[in-house]
Structure 1
Amino acid sequence: MSAKLSRTPEPPVPPYVVRLAEALIFSAPAPLGPAALAARLPPGTDVPAVVAEIARAYGSRGLTLVRVAGGYAFRTAPDLAGALRGDAPEPRKLSRAALETLAIVAYHQPVTRAEIEEIRGVTTSKGSLDLLLETGWVRLRGRRRTPGRPVTYGTTPAFLDHFGLDAVSDLPGLDELKGLGLIEGRLPAGFRVPQPGDGADPDDDPPPGEGEPSG
């Protein structure tokens, strides 16, 4: 008669490690990535198990642990968001042009100003891009290796954080974009929603150095 094999249960995560991870995530100024979290925890810590334990503990509380912008962060529980909306600062209103520009940058990055204008079918004012750069949702990605060396633009982790996305590949479809307020009104002719990505473009050089014109 063969002996019945039994799987050895995983050792429980020490409470101190869970509490330390909770404190690190709570105090971080931005979503804390798995590697950064592991670096602050004792060597050999099972980070996924720690995160799962925190998420379980906060399952019925006013805060919830979410994966956003490639890291972990605490956010208000979805069912309480409506009750707290009046306490939150009023977000800066973006014009329709800025919203359309933001959507195009998100889905076509890295993208130049000329490419944005070609997709929208109208001239993009410098103010729209400057505003998006000021909000921290758009950044300079690099320069194209083409005549004129135009600057390319892309989104930032702050953009992902604001819209509750873990990665650019999680961007929603066209109807959801409208629901999020990224696109308003009638879309310009030729607008499409490609498969987004945030990898490096082989035709791009690194971002402009300090003091270089933004193009």
Structure 2
Amino acid sequence: MNGLSDHVRAVEATLFAAEAPLSPAEIADYVGEHVDVAQALAELHAHYSGRGIELVERGKAWHFQTAPDLAHILRPEREESRRLSRAAVETLAIIAYHEPVTRAEIEAIRGVQISKGTLDVLMEAGWVRPAGRREVPGRPLTFATTATFLQHFGLSSRRDLPGIDDLKAAGLLDPIEAALEQMGGEQLELESADEED
């Protein structure tokens, strides 16, 4: 016996046999309302911490996954690498940070139109899903990220997305800011030259 109670073992078995991540309410449907699912999940999370597989929460649903440091062992020898276009990456970022968002809002933020294929690629990858219609004239479709998106990028929730300070610390915003500051400086020089004339 491994020291886990029957209730905890029932939750463990339910998650192990599930085809997809389960929310605590869905787990309770299997094991019964009398089981403290939150406590069982906490025990299992601690029990599997540091092992070859671990229990993780992604988008308020729980599942077992291979420990990230061992994932390379299970990958096939030949990986098919599919690079996203710049438009797809920008669109995915806008959806992740602003969801639920309409196609028109994505285009307004990007400043250019997006092709239908861009959203199709993101939906085919399982990272983006339709999220209902906005209650405005025309009832445009909105888009949001999925649990697969969170899982792929190792995020527990959208709150784990890097903020502006994180991006600056990683050096991802510095070139843009430097260019904008330089353009602003050049603009000021031009304006002062115009005033002198």
Q: What is aligned with 2:125?
A: 135
Q: What is aligned with 1:49?
A: 39
| Residues 52 and 119 of structure 1: CA distance in aligned 2, closer, same or farther (over 3 Å) | same
Q: Tell me which protein shows more helix as a share of its residues.
A: 2
Q: Partner amino acid for 1:58?
A: Y
Q: Deviations over 1:22-41 (max 9, x none)?
A: 12112222221111112211
Tell me the TM-score normalized by structure 1. Answer: 0.66
Identity of aligned residues (%): 54
Whether the 8 Å contact between 1:69 and 1:158 is mirrored in structure 2 is no
Alignment of 1:63-212 (within 5 A): 63-85=53-75, 89-90=79-80, 92-174=82-164
Q: Which runs of 5+ in 1 are unaligned?
A: 1-12, 179-184, 188-215
Whether the 8 Å contact between 1:69 and 1:164 is mirrored in structure 2 is no
Counterpart CA distance in 2 for 1:155 and 1:131 is 13
What RMSD in Å do the two structures reach over aligned CA positions? 3.3
Q: Tell me which of the two structures has the higher relative contact order, counting C-alpha pairs closer than 8 angstroms and 6 or more residues apart.
A: 1
Deviation at residue 150 of structure 1 after TM alignment: 2.5
Which deviates more from structure 2 when the two are superposed, residues 125-134 or residues 72-81? Answer: 72-81
| Residues 170 and 84 of structure 1: CA distance in aligned 2, closer, same or farther (over 3 Å) | same
- Is the aligned partner of 1:62 residue 2:62? no
Whether the 8 Å contact between 1:31 and 1:73 is mirrored in structure 2 is yes
Deviation at residue 14 of structure 1 after TM alignment: 6.0
Deviation at residue 15 of structure 1 after TM alignment: 2.9
Tell me the TM-score normalized by structure 2. Answer: 0.71
Counterpart CA distance in 1 for 2:59 and 2:50 is 23
| Residues 120 and 166 of structure 1: CA distance in aligned 2, closer, same or farther (over 3 Å) | same
| Residues 156 and 147 of structure 1: CA distance in aligned 2, closer, same or farther (over 3 Å) | same
Q: What is aligned with 1:191?
A: none
Whether the 8 Å contact between 1:67 and 1:166 is mirrored in structure 2 is yes
Counterpart CA distance in 1 for 2:10 and 2:78 is 28
Whether the 8 Å contact between 1:112 and 1:150 is mirrored in structure 2 is yes
How many residue pairs were aligned?
Answer: 173
Deviation at residue 136 of structure 1 after TM alignment: 2.1
Q: What is aligned with 2:182?
A: none
Deviation at residue 176 of structure 1 after TM alignment: 5.8
| Residues 100 and 177 of structure 1: CA distance in aligned 2, closer, same or farther (over 3 Å) | farther
Whether the 8 Å contact between 1:31 and 1:70 is mirrored in structure 2 is no
Q: Which runs of 5+ in 2 are unaligned?
A: 169-174, 178-197
| Residues 127 and 115 of structure 1: CA distance in aligned 2, closer, same or farther (over 3 Å) | same
Counterpart CA distance in 1 for 2:162 and 2:148 is 17
Deviation at residue 65 of structure 1 after TM alignment: 1.1
Moved over 4 A (4+): 82-89, 174-178
